[in-house]
Amino acid sequence: MSERENPSPQPVPDITDLEDDRALLLNTHRTWKRTQPSGITPRSQRGDNQIGASTLPTPQDFFQVDRREADFRHQDLRNANFQEAYLPGADFEGADLRGANFHGANLRSARFHRSQLAWADFSQADLIWADFQQAELTGTCLQHTTLRGATFVRAQAHETDFSSADCSWADFHEADLSEANFQGANINGATFLNAKVSTANLEESHGLGQTNARQDPSPSNDDLFL
């Protein structure tokens, strides 16, 4: 019997090439996803394929969406794009918004009660009268935001960036502000009763020493949605 010829071994793909291919596929998929219409329906009503509990969702795009009092409660919105969105009075209670982009958004009187906001970007957003009670804000960017009258009662705001923000009359009662950055922020009339501020950066903040009991009136209905 003649010997069977052994096929020549196939070259093993270089690991760098595999990573480049994976990055290209992910970028192509995300580009396609951005061209699809975005909705605000609950996750349970969408036809998403379940491909594993540990898989991150494809970022959802709500760029410049215009919807007052929208309901996003308890939704998985990690890395979602809400840049320049008009969402006064929106309800994000219990939502997972880690890494979300709210740059320049109108979120006046929005509700983020118990929501996950670590590493989210709220820079230059309008957050007057917003409710962040018991929210997780570790590493969140609130730079140059308007936070007049906002509520952070018992919020976890470790290493949160409030630099150059307008925090006048904000309520930080019992909030964890360890290593938070308030440099250049307006904290006139804000209350920090029982808050953890010993390691917070308050350099060059305005109104330091004038933080007292809240005496500002409740907002009128007209103020909520300007």
3-state secondary structure labels for all residues of 62-112:
CCCCECCCCECCCCECCCCECCCCECCCCECCCCECCCCECCCCECCCCEC
CATH number of the domain enclosing 105: 2.160.20.80
Number of domains in the chain: 1
**Measured distance CA(29)–CA(27) in Å, rounded:** 5
Tally Cβ neighbours within 10 Å of residue 205: 23
What pLDDT shows up at residue 111? 98
Contact call for residues 142 and 162 (beta carbons, < 8 A): yes
Asked, for residue 37, whether it belongs to a domain, the answer is: no
Angstrom CA distances, 134 to 61, 138, 156, 211, stand at 26, 12, 7, 21
**Measured distance CA(90)–CA(75) in Å, rounded:** 13
What pLDDT shows up at residue 59? 73
Asked, for residue 114, whether it belongs to a domain, the answer is: yes
What pLDDT shows up at residue 116? 98
Asked, for residue 109, whether it belongs to a domain, the answer is: yes
Phi-psi region of 41 (alpha: psi -120 to 50; beta: other; left: phi over 0): beta
Q: What is the pTM of this model?
A: 0.70
**Measured distance CA(151)–CA(109) in Å, rounded:** 10
Asked, for residue 29, whether it belongs to a domain, the answer is: no
What pLDDT shows up at residue 84? 97
What pLDDT shows up at residue 89? 98
What pLDDT shows up at residue 194? 97
Asked, for residue 162, whether it belongs to a domain, the answer is: yes
Residues of the chain with pLDDT under 50: 1-13, 15-18, 21, 25-26, 28-29, 32-39, 41-54, 211-218, 220-225
**Measured distance CA(157)–CA(20) in Å, rounded:** 37
Asked, for residue 116, whether it belongs to a domain, the answer is: yes
Q: 132 phi and psi, to 5 degrees?
A: -115, 30
What pLDDT shows up at residue 95? 98
Asked, for residue 72, whether it belongs to a domain, the answer is: yes
- State the sign of the Cα–Cα–Cα–Cα dihedral 152, 134, 125, 72: negative
What pLDDT shows up at residue 208? 72
**Measured distance CA(93)–CA(133) in Å, rounded:** 10
Asked, for residue 35, whether it belongs to a domain, the answer is: no
Structural domain for 107, as ranges: 58-214
Among 59, 54, 53, which residue's Cα sits nearest to residue 77? 59
What pLDDT shows up at residue 58? 66
